[in-house]
Amino acid sequence: MSRLVIVSNRVADLTNTAQAGGLAVGVGDSLRQRGGVWLGWDGQRLKYEEPPEPRIRKMGPVSLATIPLTQQDYDEYYLGFSNSVLWPLFHYRLDLVDYKSEFLEGYRRVNGKFADALMTILQPDDVIWIHDYHLIPLASELRRRGCTQRMGFFLHIPFPPPEILAAVPRHKWLVECLLDFDVIGFQTNTDLGNLQHYVADQLGCEMSGNVIRTGEREVISGCFPIGIDVDAFSQMAQRPNEEVQIETHRRRVLRRKQIIGVDRLDYTKGLPDRLRAFERLLELYPEHVKNVALIQIATPTREEVEAYADIRRELEALSGAINGRYADFNWTPVRYMYRTVPRDALAALFRVSQVGFVTPLRDGMNLVAKEYVAAQSMDDPGVLVLSKFAGAAEELREALIVNPYDSDDMARALNRALTMSLEERQERQQALIDRIREKDANWWLKSFMDALENRNPVPA
Ligand code: ADP
Ligand code: F6P
């Protein structure tokens, strides 16, 4: 078996259980099983340039290779082109795109740095798997430096329709960069379809099934929904710490139910709309007042980008307003926490919550939805309420699927979830758990590697 070299903007500390972000979790789960090298930014912002050789740290079967960036790289490549242009654009939020030509220059420069660093550690038989929107031009940069190894790319976030993509300068260049990979993977069939339409209409490429012909080359495109390590998460969920046990016991005695939301605090996650939907539940169905609480855990993320600071302020004001209106001496309707929580605590909290409330306005996959399902017990499972705009909704059809822009629709679904019979909950849970087991972290790694190593076209 060839050595697997994974590249992403950040690497995850595989020993740290409190790490937020689908990429860190998905790649971490997969790489632990196969072993290999994982190269990424070390999180430092230096005032000066450093030589390209990465620092290597061994963690069991995985070698973590990291490089620092400069403050200018961080501003232009990370905050700028990646998170103020591509992130909003790919999440269909043209109103939040803030394009500057220096962002694009920084983006190209840093992709060049990643390529330089990688060239110092690559071996001839390596197979390279590059992740996410920060590194779209990396295959082109590597090929320019003479790299001939097989290269795959997986996009963790949505790929927008051609008419949205075309709003950003140099969109053709971006997609041509994608075509320098051997395999390009997406979370959903919708994303895959969007790319295929773009390359056929705008670049005139021929398609044969999922194979894209570009000049002399053939590029495999496919849909590989990311999964989780279901057993590991389910086992964690069965070991609640003392705090969770006491709080759950208290709620049982008081016959109170809990709705849970867990996200990075990102404007794509639909958090204000979610809080408004919870408020609407209390308005439309007053029998839930004092009997149901919403716990929302939100991890700080990209706080230097203005849109993220705005959403934080909005959420704090909204949770304060709902509590001000409804709270009583012994009941707080919204418990809002702005922090990262260890994964085992999260898993246990999912298990003791009667509703998993996952309502992004647009999301590549959303692993929280799969984690909520993995954490449930078959004896008394909770209900997943899921946005139709999460990639996960393509698979998790037995969830209660909602429109995250419609607070009445979400309130009705919450009420239905809170009052659903045990039999219906069990039926839905069985179907959902079967689905997340079928396409778990291992399946994701294997199916992508099969396409990349054996050049097996993915069925259309
Ligand atoms: P994204 O990749 O956009 O952050 P996902 O839902 O796919 O969204 O992945 C988020 C991952 O980060 C999940 O594994 C989730 O459990 C974890 N996570 C999100 N918020 C927190 C938090 N507050 N504390 C701990 N883990 C979190
Ligand atoms: O999954 C989307 C993603 O952007 C990942 O690429 C990233 O690891 C995660 O969200 C967290 O974002 P950031 O690295 O910007 O904190």
Burial class (CB in 10 A: 0-12, 13-18, 19+), 60: exposed
Secondary structure element (H or E) that encloses residue 297, with its range: strand 292-299
Q: What are the tokens at 258?
A: 């809990």
Does position 117 have pLDDT exceeding 60, yes or no? yes
Query: What values do phi and psi take at 3, rounded to 5?
Result: -75, 135
d(CA 224, CA 444): 6
Q: What are the tokens at 67?
A: 């490089």
d(CA 137, CA 111): 6
Closest ligand to Cα 340: 1
- What's the CA-to-centroid distance between 362 and ligand 2, angstroms? 15
User: What number of CA atoms fall less than 13 Å from residue 437's CA on the CB side?
Assistant: 10
Does position 286 have pLDDT exceeding 80, yes or no? yes
Q: Which residues of 353-380 are buried (b: 16+ CB within 10 A; e: fewer)?
A: bbbbbbbbbbbbbbbbbbbbbbbbeeee
DSSP helix/strand/coil, 337:
strand
Q: Is the CB of 21 under 6 A from ligand 2?
A: yes
Residue 181 gets which letter from DSSP?
Answer: S
Task: Please give the C-alpha separations between residue 302 and each of 80, 108, 312, 459, in angstroms, as whole numbers.
Answer: 11, 21, 11, 37
d(CA 325, CA 31): 48
Burial class (CB in 10 A: 0-12, 13-18, 19+), 29: buried
Which residues touch 253 (CB under 8 Å, ≥6 apart)?
none
Counting from 1 in the atom list of ligand 1, the atom nearest the Cα of 23 is 2
CATH superfamily of 4-227+441-454: Glycogen Phosphorylase B; (3.40.50.2000)
Which residues touch 79 (CB under 8 Å, ≥6 apart)?
302, 304, 305
Catalytic positions are 156, 363
d(CA 345, CA 352): 11
| Whole-structure pTM value | 0.96
- What's the CA-to-centroid distance between 350 and ligand 1, angstroms? 13
Does position 331 have pLDDT exceeding 60, yes or no? yes
Helices (H), 295-440: 306-326, 343-351, 367-375, 407-418, 422-438
Counting from 1 in the atom list of ligand 2, the atom nearest the Cα of 8 is 6
Does position 65 have pLDDT exceeding 80, yes or no? yes
Q: Is the CB of 301 under 6 A from ligand 2?
A: yes
Higher pLDDT, 178 or 243: 178
Counting from 1 in the atom list of ligand 2, the atom nearest the Cα of 24 is 8
Predicted confidence at residue 254, as pLDDT, reads 87
d(CA 459, CA 57): 38
Q: Is the CB of 24 under 6 A from ligand 2?
A: yes
Q: How confident is the model at residue 457 (pLDDT cuts 50, 70, 90)?
A: low
Residue 270 region by backbone torsions, left for phi larger than 0, else alpha for psi between -120 and 50, else beta: left
Does position 294 have pLDDT exceeding 90, yes or no? yes
Predicted confidence at residue 385, as pLDDT, reads 99
DSSP helix/strand/coil, 296:
strand
Task: Specify the CATH number for 230-438; select among 2.40.30.260, 3.40.1350.10, 3.40.50.2000, 3.40.50.1820.
Answer: 3.40.50.2000
Average pLDDT for 10-36: 77
Nearest-10 crossing angle of helices 422-438, 230-237: 140
Q: Is the CB of 132 under 6 A from ligand 1?
A: no
Does position 17 have pLDDT exceeding 70, yes or no? no
d(CA 455, CA 128): 14
Closest ligand to Cα 10: 2
Counting from 1 in the atom list of ligand 1, the atom nearest the Cα of 228 is 14
- What's the CA-to-centroid distance between 24 and ligand 2, angstroms? 8
Q: Is the CB of 21 under 6 A from ligand 1?
A: yes
Contact 274, 414 (CB under 8 A): no
> Which residues of the chain form CATH 3.40.50.2000?
4-227+441-454, 230-438
Higher pLDDT, 129 or 250: 129
Query: Which residue is closest in CA terms to ligand 1's atom 9?
Result: 22
Q: Which residues of 438-453 are buried (b: 16+ CB within 10 A; e: fewer)?
A: ebbbbbbbebbbebbb
Q: Which of 6, 10, 91 to mutate to test the pocket of ligand 2 (most atoms within 8 A of CB)?
A: 10
Q: How confident is the model at residue 454 (pLDDT cuts 50, 70, 90)?
A: confident
Q: What are the tokens at 338?
A: 């702005």
Starting at the edge strand found earlier in the chain, the sheet holding 334-338 runs 334-338, 292-299, 257-264, 355-358, 383-387, 400-402
Q: How confident is the model at residue 14 (pLDDT cuts 50, 70, 90)?
A: confident
Q: Is the CB of 23 under 6 A from ligand 2?
A: yes
Which tens digits make up the pLDDT trace of 156-202? 999 999 999 999 999 999 999 999 999 999 999 999 999 999 999 99
Q: Which of 8, 132, 346 to mutate to test the pocket of ligand 1 (most atoms within 8 A of CB)?
A: 346
Does position 18 have pLDDT exceeding 60, yes or no? no
Query: Which residue is closest in CA terms to ligand 2's atom 5?
Result: 23
d(CA 436, CA 89): 29
Q: Is the CB of 157 under 6 A from ligand 2?
A: yes
- What's the CA-to-centroid distance between 43 and ligand 2, angstroms? 13
Which tens digits make up the pLDDT trace of 217-232? 999 999 999 999 999 9
